[in-house]
């Protein structure tokens, strides 16, 4: 009889859409109470909204927290209970930012990088190759090279945010070892599952910067890299050089340490940036060369058709 009753409940649950559950008054009230508890202070506003196209799972602006019910991660789970766990994990993540992230300092770091300035300090090279790489980077920074500044800033923002995400999630898992921790870990596993094995990444992507960033995400979130079909490669060697940096930075109760770690990782990645920049320069040259050839081809018949001047 009990089994039949439970089965009937499950069947009724299957008829409910996520929107019916997550936008119900009872669920939103529950979510608000949970947010007030884990954020450390009462929030001015908690927003549950639906947008399948913005690519954002959640956000906070210091006063408000927004949770996108229709985000890709949550949407990838089949059961309502799993979807709810995922949303609770996103809430825990955003509340972690409210508790532990210094947003002002993050803006300073990004602004400095955009201006070509290392902050809080330039990375210290560990060998001759890194000394040469640092000198090369500093030349670009001094010249305010727009392509390099844009690329470095984008990657610096990505890496520093990754390290900060892991830091605040570890803090929240420690403070709230129940549903918050469960939800955070559920989302982490799903994020890592979507990243292909390293061999597949290397074969399918000519951009070494983006490949290494995916490898870095795997290690930062789960502590390992999906490289089961590769014994070794140069990229794994680079990852081994930064593993300890990542481990120490995500444990440190200091945002400047994570920005300094980001700078050191950028230095070790410079060989990948160099390769990417060379490819971009080549792509820029080709249209110019093609344009010159096309112009010469067009000018020849024009010369023949030019009317003769009357003497």
- Distance set, CA 244 to CA 156, 181, 218, 238, 247 (Å): 18, 24, 15, 12, 5
125 falls in which pLDDT band (50, 70, 90)? very high
Span 246-266, mean pLDDT? 97
Residue 301: the pLDDT is 40
Residue 279: the pLDDT is 76
Q: Are 115 and 152 in contact (CB under 8 A)?
A: no
What does 26-69 look like in DSSP terms, one character per residue?
Answer: HHHHHHHHHHHHHTSS--SEEEEE--SSS--SEEE-SSEEEEET
Task: Please enumerate in sequence order all residues whose Cβ is within 8 A of that of 177, keeping only pairs 6 or more positions apart, or say none.
Answer: none
Residue 230: the pLDDT is 77
SS3 114: helix
284 falls in which pLDDT band (50, 70, 90)? low
Which of the residue ranges 20-24, 42-46, 134-138, 156-160 would you say has the lowest mean pLDDT? 42-46
Burial grade of 275 (CB within 10 A; 0-12, 13-18, 19 or more): middle
Residue 18, pLDDT > 90, answer: no
Q: Beta strand pairing status for 64-68 and 45-49?
A: parallel
Task: Give the HSE-up count for residue 67: Cα atoms under 13 Å, Cβ half-sphere.
Answer: 26
Task: Give the HSE-up count for residue 221: Cα atoms under 13 Å, Cβ half-sphere.
Answer: 24
Task: Please enumerate in sequence order all residues whose Cβ is within 8 A of that of 28, keeping only pairs 6 or more positions apart, or say none.
Answer: 22, 48
Residue 304: the pLDDT is 34
d(CA 194, CA 245): 25
134 falls in which pLDDT band (50, 70, 90)? very high
Residue 203, pLDDT > 50, answer: yes
Model-level pTM?
A: 0.85
Which of the residue ranges 147-151, 200-204, 292-296 would you say has the lowest mean pLDDT? 292-296
Residue 297, pLDDT > 80, answer: no
Span 155-163, mean pLDDT? 98
215-250 confidence digits (pLDDT tens): 999 999 999 998 888 777 899 999 999 999 999 999
27-43 confidence digits (pLDDT tens): 999 999 999 899 887 77
Higher pLDDT, 12 or 101: 101
Residue 101, pLDDT > 90, answer: yes
Which of the residue ranges 21-35, 51-65, 109-123, 293-307 would you say has the lowest mean pLDDT? 293-307
286 falls in which pLDDT band (50, 70, 90)? low
Q: Could you tell me what percent of the chain has a pLDDT over 90?
A: 68
Higher pLDDT, 29 or 293: 29
d(CA 223, CA 201): 18
14 falls in which pLDDT band (50, 70, 90)? low
Beta-carbon count within 10 A of 19 CB: 11
Q: Are 73 and 188 in contact (CB under 8 A)?
A: no
Residue 292: the pLDDT is 56
């Amino acid at each position: 009889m009990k089994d039949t009753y439970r089965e009937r409940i499950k069947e009724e649950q299957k008829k409910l859409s996520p929107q019916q559950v997550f936008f119900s008054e009872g669920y939103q009230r529950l979510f608000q109470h949970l947010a007030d508890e884990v954020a450390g202070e009462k929030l001015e506003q908690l927003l549950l909204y639906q947008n399948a196209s913005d690519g954002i799972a959640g956000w906070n602006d210091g006063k408000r927290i927004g949770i996108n019910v229709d985000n890709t991660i949550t949407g990838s789970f089949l059961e309502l209970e799993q979807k709810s766990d995922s949303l609770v994990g996103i809430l825990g993540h955003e509340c972690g930012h409210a508790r532990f992230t210094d947003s002002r300092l993050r803006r300073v770091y990004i602004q400095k990088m955009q201006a070509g300035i290392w902050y809080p300090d330039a990375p210290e090279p560990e060998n001759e190759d890194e000394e040469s790489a640092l000198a090369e980077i500093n030349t670009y920074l001094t010249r305010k090279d727009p392509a390099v500044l844009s690329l470095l800033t984008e990657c610096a923002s990505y890496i520093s945010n990754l390290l900060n995400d892991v830091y605040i999630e570890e803090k929240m898992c420690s403070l709230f070892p129940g549903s918050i921790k469960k939800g955070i870990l559920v989302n982490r596993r799903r994020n890592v599952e979507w990243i292909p094995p390293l061999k597949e990444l290397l074969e399918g992507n000519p951009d070494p910067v983006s490949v290494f960033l995916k490898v870095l995400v795997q290690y930062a979130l789960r502590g390992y890299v999906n490289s089961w079909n590769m014994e070794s490669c140069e990229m794994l060697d680079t990852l081994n050089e930064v593993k300890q940096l990542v481990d120490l930075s995500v444990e440190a109760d200091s945002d400047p340490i994570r920005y300094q770690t980001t700078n050191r990782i950028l230095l070790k990645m410079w060989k990948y940036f160099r390769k990417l920049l060379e490819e971009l320069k080549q792509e820029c040259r080709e249209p110019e060369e093609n344009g010159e050839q096309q112009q010469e081809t067009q000018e020849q018949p024009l010369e023949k058709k030019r009317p003769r001047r009357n003497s």
